[in-house]
Each structure stands twice: as C-alpha cells, then as structure tokens.
Chains A and B, each alone.
Chain A
Amino acid sequence: MKIAIVTDSTADIPPDLVEQHHIEVVPAIIVMEGKSIQDGKDISRHEFYEKMPTLETLPTTATPSSGTFHSVYERLIQGGAQAILSLHVASRLSGIYNTAKLAGKAFGERVHVFDSGSISMGLGFQVIAAAEAAAQGLSLEKISQHIRTIRKKIRVIAMLDTLENIRRSGRVSWTTARIGSLLRIKPFMEILDGNVLNLGQARTRRKGIEHLKNIIYELGGLERLAIIHSNAEADARQMLADLKLDLPDAPRVVNVTPVIGTHVGPNGLGFAAVLK
C-alpha cells in the first residue's frame, strides 16, 4: 500500500530530510507589510529574521486554505497514493489542523489528519517517524499506533529572549496573568499536548542556556534531538557543542519558521527531543 505523508511548514523539517523521506510540506502563510507570503517558498528564514526588527508592525500569520490542502491531497492520490497521513501543528495553537481536516473530508477514508499536539521539530519528529514507518511497509493502523507512541515521548522546550512578542501575539495566559514582569526576563516555555506552559524564567542569557542544558541532561536517555532557535544560530551551535550526549543520529540545528518566530521573537533558543 502506498502511503503519502503530508505536513505543514511549522514542522521545521530540514530540506534534505524532507526530500529523503518524500514528505509533502504545505507552506503556512506569513502576512508581512500587507502581503501574503508562503513560508519557506517566498522568503528564507534568515531573510525574515533580518527584516523583522525593521518592521513597524509585527508580521501576522494565517493558515493555508483548505483548497490548498485539497489540491495537495488530490495530486498525491492521482500520483498513486492509496492513503495519506497528514500530521499538523497542535490544533490548540493553530487552525491548520482543522483546515486540513475540512479538506480531508472530501477524500473519505483515504486521508487521515493527525493533531500532533506539538510544534516545530516536535511535530517534525512525528512526521519523520511516520515516513520511516510507511517506507518499511507497515499498515496504516500500525503507523498510526507508532505515531501515537512517539507523540508521548516528545518534549519541546525553549527560552525566549523577550516576553514582548509572545505577549503581543496572543495573550498566553501566563504572560499576562502571572508573569507580567516589571523586570526584563527570558521566559522558558514548554509545548505539551498543545498547551504552552511556563517553566520559569532566567534573567541572563548565559544562565538561561546553562539551565536549558540541565533540562536536557535531566530528561535522561534520548532517541533524537534537534536544537531549535529563532535566528540564534551561533548560540545553538555552541550549546550543541557543549552538550555531551550519546545519540544515534547527530542532532540537527534548526532555525524555526517565521510563522513561529513572529510570535516568539528573535534569539529564542531551545530543543525538541524524542525520549527513549
């Protein structure tokens, strides 16, 4: 049975892995200076982050249309796919899942849309696992089961450089209710089952990075790891170099999509991991 894997650009899967695993990535939309831009297609991540501080109003984001998903599904089925697994960013954070779900209805049992409950490589690792399982020729049911197992082992944690963007983006309850800090702080957050949790804060970047490393060590054995950042490549590489970890695959360093970047601000640093 030929099974196609679809995700959206908030999965942050590096291009070579997208190609290697034959993953179909639907771009999310960034609205910048009044123009709709396709994530990853019309603007590079580096370009976006360089430009962001010069903009008067923060870019906003939009989901791809259900028509976009519809035509992707249609093309894949015409290309011979007998089933499609479509995995997306947590539905609590984004309308992408529901949009894909709506488009999928037209294809009945052939399109299965999953809510990853996660974001960035936390979603990416689930997608890659699904693609690997599909390549092994596992049944649809086995693959779904596999994705559910992986999902429980995903951890996504990051330190933001500022509260400003996330506060302006959409009022994560703890950024207004609890942490409306008078002091400058760098909040730690975790994405778990689609919730954005506060994991405390640091006041200096150096201490924050130390704290991040400790969190990684305390997770215990890891299957996979990606360092994720919003245009803080140097810090991300340094942190990875400092980490003493024994992993089957070398961890990737990933600049997160502007779709997330506009909400978390530049210089965020964190990781997505799959526990053993």
Chain B
Amino acid sequence: MTMPPQPEGSPEFVEKIRQQPIDGLALKNLAAAALTWLRTNHEIVNALNVFPVPDGDTGTNMVLTMQSAYDEIENSPEDHAGRVANDLAQGALMGARGNSGVILSQLWRGFARALDGHDVIEGQTLAEAFAVARDTAYKGVVRPVEGTILTVAKDVAAAAEAALDKTQDPFEILDIVVEAAEASVEHTPELLDVLKEAGVVDSGGKGLYFILEGMLRFSKGMSLDTAVATVQPLSAINFDDAMQTVEPGQDYEVVVDFRPNEPLVLEKFYTDLEEMGTSIQIGEGDGMYRMHIHVPTEKRYEPIDYTMTLGTITKVHIENLLAQMDELEREHQEQPLKLAPVEPGQIAVVTVAPGPGFANVFASLGAAAIVEGGQTMNPSTQDILHSFENLPTDKVIILPNNKNIILAAEAATEVTVKQTAVIPSRTVPQGLSALLRLIPDGDFDNVVKDMTSALEDVQTGEITTATRSVEIDGVNVREGEIIVLHNGQLILSSHNLRDACLQFLEKADADDYELITMFYGADIQKVDAFRIADMIREAYPEHEIEVQDGGQPHYQFIMSIE
C-alpha cells in the first residue's frame, strides 16, 4: 500500500499548496490524502454498519475502491487535472466494491466528466464537478434512498454551489463543503429510520465525509495518519458509558482538569495518553480541558505527571473502578426497563416478573410488557389487562409464571377484544423457556403451541426459608429451615443454603442436563450467590453455570436446570 507525501505542516507549506492552482499533480496529492485519511478512519466507518452478514464492512469496501482509484494514477506523471480525474474514475470503477463503493465510483465518474478538458480545477469547475457527481450517482441507483451517501453528495453539491457567491477559491469552497458534509452525515438518522433505530449515522456518508476531509486536512498541512480524536463539550462526556467498557487490568479511573499553557495539539495528546491506558475521553469548555482515562494500578499517577507538563492542573480525581462498578450496577437496576418494541400485527408477550432482575431478563428476551408480581404479590386481572391494553397490537400472549396467577391471566383474556392466549407457566424458569420460542411475526396458534411445548424443557428449583413448621408431601420442615420446591413440589429441607442447593440438584437429576441458571434474590448478597455458584461448579464441572440477579423477594434462589 502506498502512502501519499506527508505534509510538513509549516505555514509555508500550507501557503504553497493553497496558492498553486489544482492541476493533475495537485489532484493526485489530494486523492492520496483522501485515501489515507479514509484508511486511517475506516474502522470508524465499519462500526457504523446497520445491515448484517456477510460483508457489511462499508469502510473496508470504500478504502479498497479508493485504493484502486489511486493505484491508477500513482505512478503517472500526468499534470492535466481532467485526465487525472478520468483515470481516478476508471480505477474506482474497476475496484468498486460493495454498495457504497459502487456509488463512490459513480461520484468519481461524474466528477471526472465535469472536469473533462480542464487542465486545472478552479472554484467554478469544482462546484460543477460536485454537481455532476451528484447527478451521476443518483442516476446509478434504481431507487435512491435519502439518508445515505447520496444525500451527503447532494448536500455537498448544494454547499459548493452556494459557496460560489462568496468565493472562487477552490480550497475555500472545500472548507465549506467539508462542513456541509459533516452536518449532512449527522442529519442522516433523521431521514432513515434504520439508522435511527440502530443509533448510528450512515456509514457510506461518513466515508465520503472522510474522503473530503482528508483533502482538506492535506491542504491545511494536518496529519493524516492518526484517527479522529473527538473532543466533546464537557457536558456531553458520559462517564457511565465509559464504565461499560472497562477492560481487564485497567483498574483506576483518572480525571484531570487543566488549562494548557499553549494550544493543545490534540492528536499528540491523544496518542500519548493511549500509551498509558484506555477509554480516553477529552472534553473542552472555555479553554479548560478535562481528560478522562482508565489505567492499570501501577500507572495511576502517570496521566497526572504527563498533563502537568502541558499546563496548569486545577483538579484531579482518581477512583478505583472495581468499587465504582458495583455501585453503578446497582444504579442501573433502578433505571427504566428497556422493553421490546412491538409493531401492529406482531405477537406481544406480557409476562409476570417477581423482581427487577427478572424483569430485565424478560425484557432482554423480547417481552413487550411486564407485570410485577409473584408468589407473595399476585397481580390482579386488572393489572394484567392494563399492561397489554395499550400495546399497538391485537395479538397478546400472557406468561403468568406462577400457578396462582394463571386464573387472573385467563380472566383478563375474557374481558379484552384482543386475540389473547395464556401459556400456563407455573414457574419463572418455565416462563423464560416459553419466551425463548417467541416468533413475533409467526402464526399466532403455532407460536402458542410451540411456546407451550417449551414449558416442559426446564426443571425449576425454588429455594426459600420456611415460615413455619409443617409436614407436607412427607417432608418434615421446621420454621427457619431452608426448603426447596422442585417444579412446585416440596422435596427437602436443610439447615443451610449450600446443602439445600446441592441436594436439590441431585434430586432433580442435574447430571442429565447441561445448563444450570441461578437467579439470586433480593435477600442474598451477590458475593454469597457467586460463592455458592462456585461450589456448584466444583460439583458439576461439566455443566455450564450461569448466575443472574433475579431480585425476587423471600426466595434466595430460583434455579433452572435444562
């Protein structure tokens, strides 16, 4: 792979570039810069993909297309801009890959067509070239979709044309065009729902932006080999998000506020910090900077010492991340549930959950509504009815997850006009097992049948403390002992939780199964739950053991064996 000449960055260099007319050789340098900058940032573009398999890597495809375009002119001494553009377009066409690559090649085709016969590119010509590029790209697509690279090309052309009122200088036009491209890319989710849903901007549009920005950076003598380090307004830094990506070994979070003595060279600052740690974020406001980084224990003072060489430090904050993580996890549980979106005509599932942890698990598996309730707090018919009446679909499946709630659920089906069915799940693990089979767009009766058949796929253990002494099903229980229900039947009592769990697994023939999931309740500490899980792991080394926060009251554990 070839690298373009790297600009020296001196004012004289910038002056020279911007003063000279854009002939074929200058265009070649700009194309090289565009390629390099796109390649430097192609992972950013790849990360924006909305569509799946098997080759949704827009950034890679665009780099390869651009590379093929540049290969065509790399060793050419041609100094006629029109002919260089034509060669670039030819190379792009032959190297076009993927949808964005194909459109990129059309843009180059149009660009070259407008430059035909021009030995240098002047402001007027440049604006025309952007316009013809846009027209060619739109014509090359059967059904143009807005919110894509096409829209960015369109906004670029419009900005270039408008710029002619103010300037005839091609580089000043490029300045305006890059700004317009950036705004256009940011606007793409407003035009295309899939982008909005995925929470991304359009990848092809972003790629086009990097191509134009690469040219501009070259003309300003800026480096092209360091990926974009984004600076956000101070208020926008979300440390919670950074917390989600804590990497092993990065145990400390360091935040330094400082005022640099000289204008901060961001790329260098960023690269230097990368030597020390991860999750780097830089914020700026009123000439004041805030730097955030995660570092290993032994390097926790390094970012501070380093920042001190750049300016005056006003505030330092160091925190042990592992301790912070625990706290955050607790806060997260209090956040509103992220329920599955339902569209008209789809099948929605309403499920009863006996704790916030279970509610999260159900939501993550596609439940559209959750009713709080369980053993000691049976929800009413009204509660169940309310939970689904406002859903935008008329097909609803209810999972009661408790034998005492099945009737209330059935009653709810009798007073609604919606098509409803109750799947008689008697335990929470049964409800989870049924929910796994949900196909929202499937045939209602088939889905109900399939979900019902999944109830038997799982064995349930419910582990709690006896509230009084009693003898049931031949088991003698004394108040305060740990008791276990296996699929609703009392099967044993024990003096301690650990033994109760192990005895239950033995009686339920856990040996014959593959996976044990332990949902721990509100009354038990996470560390204790994990300790018991470790012990079960030792006893069942071949099994997968999963521990989840169920958050249910009274029951130390609800376990599923499958």
A119-B436 contact, Cβ under 8 Å, with A182-B360, A183-B548: no
B94 touches A61 (CB 8 A): no
Residues of B within 8 A of A94 (CB): 53-56, 98
CB distance from B170 to the nearest CB of A (A): 30
A200 touches B56 (CB 8 A): no
Contact with B along A193-207 (1 / 0, CB 8 A): 000111111111111
Partner of A67 from B50, B68, B197, B515 at Cβ < 8 Å: B68
Q: Which of A13-21, A79-87, A257-265 contacts B (4 or more CB under 8 A)?
A: A257-265
Complex: how many Å from CA A10 to CA B56?
14
For chain B residues 288-339, which have a beta carbon within 8 Å of chain A?
338
Look across to chain B and name the residue whose beta carbon is closest to the beta carbon of A262: B54
B366 touches A169 (CB 8 A): no
CB distance from B150 to the nearest CB of A (A): 14
Contact with B along A232-276 (1 / 0, CB 8 A): 000000000000000000000000010110111000000000000
Partner of B55 from A28, A172, A173 at Cβ < 8 Å: A28
A95-B198 contact, Cβ under 8 Å, with A102-B102, A204-B515: no
Q: Which of B273-281, B391-399, B438-446 contacts A (4 or more CB under 8 A)?
A: B438-446
Look across to chain A and name the residue whose beta carbon is closest to the beta carbon of B446: A218
B97 touches A170 (CB 8 A): no
A260 touches B94 (CB 8 A): no
Look across to chain B and name the residue whose beta carbon is closest to the beta carbon of A93: B53
CB distance from A86 to the nearest CB of B (A): 15
For chain B residues 197-230, which have a beta carbon within 8 Å of chain A?
197-198, 200
A207 touches B364 (CB 8 A): no
Contact with A along B419-450 (1 / 0, CB 8 A): 00000000000001100111111000000001
For chain B residues 112-135, which have a beta carbon within 8 Å of chain A?
none
A99-B96 contact, Cβ under 8 Å, with A180-B364, A182-B361, A183-B365: yes
CB distance from A233 to the nearest CB of B (A): 20
B521 interface residue (CB < 8 Å to A): no
Complex: how many Å from CA A233 to CA B524?
43
Residues of A within 8 A of B194 (CB): 173
CB distance from B69 to the nearest CB of A (A): 11
A62-B52 contact, Cβ under 8 Å, with A98-B99, A176-B198, A204-B515: no
B49 interface residue (CB < 8 Å to A): yes
Residues of B within 8 A of A76 (CB): none
Complex: how many Å from CA A201 to CA B457?
13
Complex: how many Å from CA A184 to CA B562?
13
Instruction: State the B residues within 8 Å of A (CB).
Output: 46, 49-57, 60-61, 64-65, 68, 93-102, 105, 194, 197-198, 200, 338, 340-341, 360-361, 364-366, 432-433, 436-441, 450, 457, 513-515, 517, 544, 546, 548, 562
Instruction: State the A residues within 8 Å of B (CB).
Output: 10, 28-29, 31, 36, 60-67, 70, 89, 92-96, 98-99, 102, 119, 166, 169-173, 176-185, 196-207, 257, 259-260, 262-264
